[in-house]
Protein backbone atom coordinates (compact mmCIF):
# COMPACT_ATOMS: atom_id res chain seq x y z
CA UNK A 1 0.00 0.00 0.00
CA UNK A 2 1.35 3.35 -1.02
CA UNK A 3 1.80 5.66 1.94
CA UNK A 4 2.66 9.22 2.76
CA UNK A 5 3.88 9.86 6.28
CA UNK A 6 3.88 13.08 8.23
CA UNK A 7 4.48 13.84 11.87
CA UNK A 8 1.08 14.82 13.23
CA UNK A 9 2.56 17.41 15.58
CA UNK A 10 1.66 19.86 16.85
CA UNK A 11 4.85 21.57 15.82
CA UNK A 12 5.31 24.73 17.80
CA UNK A 13 7.55 27.44 16.33
CA UNK A 14 8.17 30.97 17.63
CA UNK A 15 7.10 33.84 15.45
CA UNK A 16 9.81 34.90 13.03
CA UNK A 17 11.59 31.54 13.09
CA UNK A 18 11.77 28.94 10.32
CA UNK A 19 9.17 26.20 10.41
CA UNK A 20 10.27 22.92 8.84
CA UNK A 21 7.67 20.37 7.81
CA UNK A 22 8.64 16.94 6.56
CA UNK A 23 6.96 14.24 4.56
CA UNK A 24 8.14 10.81 3.41
CA UNK A 25 6.53 8.63 0.79
CA UNK A 26 6.76 4.98 -0.09
CA UNK A 27 6.14 4.91 -3.83
CA UNK A 28 9.50 5.30 -5.57
CA UNK A 29 7.95 6.24 -8.90
CA UNK A 30 5.92 9.15 -7.53
CA UNK A 31 6.14 12.11 -9.84
CA UNK A 32 4.25 15.03 -8.40
CA UNK A 33 4.39 16.44 -4.91
CA UNK A 34 2.14 18.98 -3.29
CA UNK A 35 1.85 20.93 -0.08
CA UNK A 36 -1.56 22.15 0.98
CA UNK A 37 -2.52 24.28 3.94
CA UNK A 38 -5.79 23.73 5.77
CA UNK A 39 -7.11 26.12 8.34
CA UNK A 40 -9.53 24.73 10.92
CA UNK A 41 -12.99 24.38 9.42
CA UNK A 42 -11.82 25.26 5.91
CA UNK A 43 -10.89 23.26 2.84
CA UNK A 44 -7.27 22.74 1.77
CA UNK A 45 -5.53 25.35 -0.34
CA UNK A 46 -2.47 24.75 -2.47
CA UNK A 47 0.79 26.18 -1.18
CA UNK A 48 3.39 24.63 -3.45
CA UNK A 49 3.87 21.95 -6.04
CA UNK A 50 7.24 20.43 -6.90
CA UNK A 51 8.15 17.89 -9.53
CA UNK A 52 11.95 17.67 -9.68
CA UNK A 53 14.74 17.24 -7.17
CA UNK A 54 16.00 20.31 -5.40
CA UNK A 55 14.47 23.44 -3.97
CA UNK A 56 11.59 25.53 -5.18
CA UNK A 57 10.98 28.89 -3.59
CA UNK A 58 7.83 31.00 -3.54
CA UNK A 59 7.93 33.95 -1.21
CA UNK A 60 8.44 32.75 2.34
CA UNK A 61 7.87 29.14 1.31
CA UNK A 62 10.48 26.71 0.03
CA UNK A 63 9.69 23.16 -1.00
CA UNK A 64 12.53 20.66 -1.08
CA UNK A 65 12.39 17.34 -2.89
CA UNK A 66 14.79 14.43 -2.61
CA UNK A 67 13.56 11.50 -4.67
CA UNK A 68 16.48 9.26 -3.75
CA UNK A 69 15.59 9.53 -0.07
CA UNK A 70 11.86 9.74 -0.80
CA UNK A 71 11.16 12.83 1.17
CA UNK A 72 9.71 16.22 0.52
CA UNK A 73 9.80 19.12 2.94
CA UNK A 74 8.33 22.57 3.29
CA UNK A 75 10.17 25.42 4.93
CA UNK A 76 8.36 28.53 6.05
CA UNK A 77 10.65 31.48 6.73
CA UNK A 78 9.75 34.35 9.05
CA UNK A 79 6.82 32.37 10.44
CA UNK A 80 3.71 34.36 11.24
CA UNK A 81 0.80 33.50 13.53
CA UNK A 82 -1.35 33.37 10.38
CA UNK A 83 0.73 30.40 9.25
CA UNK A 84 -0.78 28.35 12.06
CA UNK A 85 -2.69 25.59 10.28
CA UNK A 86 -2.47 21.96 9.34
CA UNK A 87 -0.12 21.29 6.44
CA UNK A 88 -0.94 18.37 4.18
CA UNK A 89 1.55 16.61 1.97
CA UNK A 90 0.20 14.84 -1.11
CA UNK A 91 1.95 12.69 -3.69
CA UNK A 92 0.89 11.09 -6.93
CA UNK A 93 2.28 9.17 -9.84
CA UNK A 94 1.58 6.70 -12.58
CA UNK A 95 1.39 3.75 -10.23
CA UNK A 96 -1.37 5.35 -8.21
CA UNK A 97 -3.18 6.19 -11.43
CA UNK A 98 -2.41 9.83 -10.61
CA UNK A 99 -4.66 9.69 -7.57
CA UNK A 100 -3.31 11.83 -4.77
CA UNK A 101 -2.06 9.92 -1.77
CA UNK A 102 -2.43 12.13 1.29
CA UNK A 103 -0.47 12.40 4.47
CA UNK A 104 -2.44 12.88 7.66
CA UNK A 105 -1.09 16.40 8.05
CA UNK A 106 1.13 18.25 10.50
CA UNK A 107 -0.45 20.80 12.78
CA UNK A 108 1.74 23.90 12.95
CA UNK A 109 1.40 26.45 15.72
CA UNK A 110 3.26 29.75 15.47
CA UNK A 111 3.60 31.34 18.89
CA UNK A 112 3.72 35.16 19.03
Partner 1 sequence: GAVVSQHPSRVICKSGTSVKIECRSLDFQATTMFWYRQFPKKSLMLMATSNEGSKATYEQGVEKDKFLINHASLTLSTLTVTSAHPEDSSFYICSAEQGAGETQYFGPGTRLLVL
From the list 13, 21, 25, 44, which residue makes contact with partner 1 (rule: CB under 8 A)? 44
Q: Name residues whose C-beta falls within 8 Å of residue 61's C-beta, 6 or more positions apart in sequence.
A: 35, 47, 48, 74, 75, 76, 77
26 lies in the site for partner 1, by CB under 8 A: no
Distances (CA, A) of 39 to 63, 81, 107: 19, 12, 10
Q: Give 41 or 112: the residue with its C-beta nearer to partner 1.
A: 41
12 lies in the site for partner 1, by CB under 8 A: no
State how far the Cα of 31 lies from the Cα of 59, in Å rounded to an integer: 24
From the list 15, 17, 28, 32, which residue makes contact with partner 1 (rule: CB under 8 A)? 32
Q: Give 71 or 102: the residue with its C-beta nearer to partner 1.
A: 102
Amino acid sequence: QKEVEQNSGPLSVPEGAIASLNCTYSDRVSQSFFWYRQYSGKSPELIMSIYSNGDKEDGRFTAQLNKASQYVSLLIRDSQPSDSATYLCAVNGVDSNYQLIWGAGTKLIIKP
